[in-house]
Amino acid sequence: MAAIDNTLPPTFNRLAWSNLAAQSAEQIALAAAPIVAVLLLGVGEGQTGLLQTALTLPFILFAIPAGMLADRISRRWLMTSAEALRAAALAAILALIWLNLLTLPLLALSGFIAVCGTVAYSVAAPALVPSLVSPKLLPAANARIELARTVAFASGPALGGVLVGWVGAAPAFGFAAALSVVAVVLLSGIYEPARAPAPRRHPLQEIKEGAAFVLHHALLRPVFITQFIFNTASFLLLAVFVPYAVRRLGLSATGVGATLAMYGVGMVVGALSATRVMRRLPFGTVIALGPVIGFIAAVVLALTTFVPSPVLAGFGFFLLGAGPILWVISTTTLRQSVTPPSLLGRVSAINIMSYGARPVGSALGAIVGGFYGAEACLYLAVAIFGAQALVILMSPAVSLAQQPEMVGEPAKALRAC
C-alpha cells in the first residue's frame, strides 16, 4: 500500500491532508456543541435534540444544491469557500463564548452554517478526485480519503470531549476553527484542471438529470438502494444498543463506550486494508463484501440475545465498521468511473441523500423497541441487513471483474458545451 501511496501526485496529497484537517474539525465541533449546550448553557435533553437536528438538516437541505454548484464551478474553489465558511462559523462560536453572549439559538445557527460548509466539501471532494489522479489510482486515492475520515470519526469525538473538559469550550472551538483554516490553506494550493463550462439550465432540470442518471444506471441504482437500506438498518441498531447493552449485557458506561469504539477500530482497519484487498479480489467481489459483512455483523449482534457476551458485541461492531468501509471505497471508485465528469457533483450529492434513511432507522428503533423491546430490533436489523445484501448480490455490480473504464462526456453534452 505504501508503494501505491507514494505514486499519488502531490496535488492529491494536499487534498488528502486537507480532508483530514476538515474532517477532524467537523468531528471535534460536533462533539463539543452538545457538551457546551449542556455544561455552559444548561439545556436539557429536548433542547439538545433540537440542536442535533439543526446540525443534521443541511445534509438533507443542501446536498443537491451543493452538487449542482460542484458541476457548474471550480470544485476546488467550492471546497475552499465551504471550508472558509465553516472556519468563520466556528470562530463566531468562539467569539460568542468569550463575550459571554452564546445562547442555544446562536449555537444552533452557527453550527448549522458550519455544517453547510461540511456538506459542500463532502459533495465536491469525490467529484474532484478523478481530475487529480489517474484511473488506476482511484482505489488508492479513495482509500486515503476514507482513512482520513475514519481516523477523524474515531478520534474526533473523544478529542472534542477532552478539549472541552481540560481547556474549556472556547479553546475546543478555536482548535476546530484552526484546523479548518489549515484545510483552506492546503486546498488553495491544489491545481484543478479546467473543465468545459456547463450550460446554464433550470435547477430542476439539472436535479432531474442527476437523479435519472443514478436511478436508471444498472450499476448505480442497486448501489443507491443498498446504501439506503444499510443506513436504515445501522441506525436502527444504534438507536437501541445502549439501553440493550446496559440491561442485557450488563455493561457500564465505560463498557458501552469501549464496545462502540470497536466500530471506529473496524473502520480504520478496513480503510488501511482496502487497497490491498482491491488489488487481490475481483472488483465486484469487493463491492459485495460490505453488505455481506454488514449482514454477518447484524447476526453476531443478534446472537448476544442468546449469548450475552460483550466480546461478541464488540466483534459485531468491529465487523460493522470494517466491511462497509470497503463498500464506501469500492462504490465511490465505481461511481467516479461510470459517471460523466459533468455529472459527478450531482451524483455525489444524490449518494449523500441516502443519509436521509438514518432518521428512518432511528424512528423504527424507537417504535419497535418501545412496543417489542430491543431484542426485536436486533432481529429486525438482521432481516433488513439481509435485504440490502440480497439487493447488491442480485445486481450486475458484483459480477465486475475489474474497475470499469472511465467514461467521458456523452456526445450530446459535448455539443451542448
CATH code that applies to domain 203-403: 1.20.1250.20
When pLDDT is cut at 50, 70 and 90, the band that residue 212 belongs to is: confident
The distance of Cα 126 from the centroid of its chain, to the nearest Å, equals 11
Query: So what's the pLDDT on residue 411?
Result: 52
> What average pLDDT does range 367-394 have in this prediction?
90
Whether the Cβ atoms of residue 100 and residue 134 lie closer than 8 Å to each other: no
Instruction: Name, of 124-128, 152-156, 211-215, 222-226, the range with top average pLDDT.
Output: 222-226
pLDDT of residue 409: 65
The whole-number average pLDDT for the span 259-288 is 87
pLDDT for res 304: 92
The pLDDT confidence band at residue 158, using thresholds 50, 70 and 90, is low
At 293 the pLDDT is 94
For the chain, what is the mean pLDDT?
84
Query: Would the pLDDT of 417 be above 80?
Result: no
Work out the average pLDDT over 41-70.
76
Would you place residue 198 in the very low, low, confident or very high pLDDT band (cuts 50, 70, 90)? low
Helices 344-353 and 63-72 cross at an angle (nearest 10°) of: 170
Q: What is the pLDDT of residue 413?
A: 43
Q: What percent of the chain has pLDDT over 90?
A: 28
Q: How does residue 59 score in pLDDT terms, banded at 50, 70 and 90?
A: confident
Q: Which of 394 and 134 is assigned the larger pLDDT?
A: 394
For residues 279-287, average pLDDT: 92
Which pLDDT belongs to residue 87?
Answer: 95
Whether residue 227 is predicted with pLDDT greater than 50 in this model: the reply is yes
Q: What angle do CA 349, 159, 127 make, to 5 degrees?
A: 20
> Residue 240 has what pLDDT?
77
Mean pLDDT for 206-223 is: 86
Q: Which residues in the chain are classed under CATH 1.20.1250.20?
A: 10-191, 203-403
Residue 415 has pLDDT above 50, yes or no: no
Greatest mean pLDDT among 160-169, 180-189, 366-375 lies in 180-189
Q: Give the pLDDT mean for 147-175.
A: 75
Average confidence (pLDDT) over 287-314 = 93
> Which tops the pLDDT comparison, 327 or 252?
327
3-state secondary structure of 351: helix
Q: Which of the four pLDDT bands, split at 50, 70 and 90, describes residue 374?
A: confident
pLDDT band at 182 (very low <50, low <70, confident <90, very high): very high
**pLDDT exceeds cutoff 70 at 23:** yes
Query: Rounded CA gap, 238 and 313, in Å?
Result: 12
Q: What is the mean pLDDT of residues 185-202?
A: 79
This prediction's pTM: 0.77
pLDDT band at 393 (very low <50, low <70, confident <90, very high): very high
User: Which has more confidence, 275 or 181?
Assistant: 181
- Residue 245 near residue 253 (C-beta atoms within 8 A): no
Query: What are the cell numbers at 253?
Result: 458506561
Q: Is the pLDDT reported for residue 141 higher than 50?
A: yes
The count of other CB atoms within 10 Å of the CB of residue 307 is: 9
Pick the residue with more confidence: 200 or 346?
346
Residue 221 exposed, middle or buried by CB count within 10 Å (0-12, 13-18, 19+) = middle
Contact 277, 216 (CB under 8 A): no
pLDDT for the residue 414 = 40
CATH 2.30.110.10 at 10-191, yes or no: no
Dump pLDDT digits (tens) for 230-271: 988 888 887 778 778 878 888 776 677 678 778 888 888 888
